[in-house]
Structure 1
Amino acid sequence: MELMLTTSLLYAGLLTLLYIGLSAAIIRLRWRDRVGLGTGESQDLKVAVRAHGNFSEYVPLALLLLVLMELTGADMWLLHALGGLLFVARICHVIGLRMSIGPSWGRTIGVLGTFIVLLVQAGYMLGYAIGSQL
């Protein structure tokens, strides 16, 4: 039996490209502002590092849960809805953070979207685990 995780692979690939873009932004700003370690006095670099850090804090767990959902046979529409929402939310978060270090529509959409994905995934996992025990 061949294991196919095509939906998870799609979103893992898209999110990896976004992660590389966030990393490249940091590298570019380090060169521009001549900062080898940390963020120095560069506000742009601080924002870029935070956007990258926030991504790396939330996305790995969400991707792992997406893979687990696909392995348990979750409906493809649900997987695409969650993967798509996560991708859009992470883009909005970066845009919002670059617009303002304070509250912004982009950050709000990014945080809410990411939390919705994680909450739905947690609910699915718990429902699947409890349902399997009955």
Structure 2
Amino acid sequence: MMASTIQAAALWGGMLILLLFALSGAAAGRRRHHRIAIGDGGQHDLALAMRAFGNASEYIPAGLCGLILLAILGTPPALIHTVGGLLFAGRLIHAVAMFYQRGLSMVRALGMTLTWLSLLITGVSLIVWSVL
């Protein structure tokens, strides 16, 4: 059975929300470990966890809105899976690189590139499908 456009958007929406949940949990766990309620207290691992969550929370809402609008417009499920998969992969790759790599990182750059590509495809697709 072929997934509907709404089901495709719901799948990626659920995956992205769970990613945000996991990143939030990682930051909260490091806060508890260091007993820091506000800020990073100079703890580098906490600062990285906070930025990994913060960065994801800056990009995922726009991506989710785009997925929902594409679904409402009735675009093909393959388009939803493409942009949802790119966004999820980009955010996951970027977050993992934030946790495990110091300084400039080609892996982190790949995560951002996939994220931007997802948003670019979504934005152009929304414009095209809105005038069809």
* TM-score, with length taken from structure 2: 0.91
Corresponding residue number in structure 2 for 1:108: 109
Corresponding residue number in structure 1 for 2:70: 69
Contact 2:5 2:74 in 1 (8 A): no
Identity percentage of aligned residues: 33
CA offset digits 1:55-90 (Å, max 9, x no partner): 111100111011101111111111101111111111
Contact 2:13 2:64 in 1 (8 A): yes
Contact 1:47 1:101 in 2 (8 A): no
- Please, what is the CA RMSD of the aligned residues? 1.5
Distance in 2, matches of 1:125 and 1:101, equals: 37
| 1:128 equivalenced with 2:129 (yes/no) | yes
In structure 2, give the amino acid aligned to 1:115. W
How far residue 4 of structure 1 moved from its aligned partner, in angstroms, is 7.0
How far residue 101 of structure 1 moved from its aligned partner, in angstroms, is 4.2
Give 5+ residue unaligned stretches, structure 2: none
Distance in 2, matches of 1:18 and 1:62, equals: 13
Paired positions, count: 129
Instruction: Give the structure, 1 or 2, with the largest relative contact order (CA under 8 Å, sep 6 or more).
Output: 2
Alignment partner of 1:5: what SS?
helix
In structure 2, give the amino acid aligned to 1:124. S
* TM-score, with length taken from structure 1: 0.90
Which consecutive aligned stretches of 4+ in structure 1 deviate over 3 angstroms post-superposition? none
Give 5+ residue unaligned stretches, structure 1: none
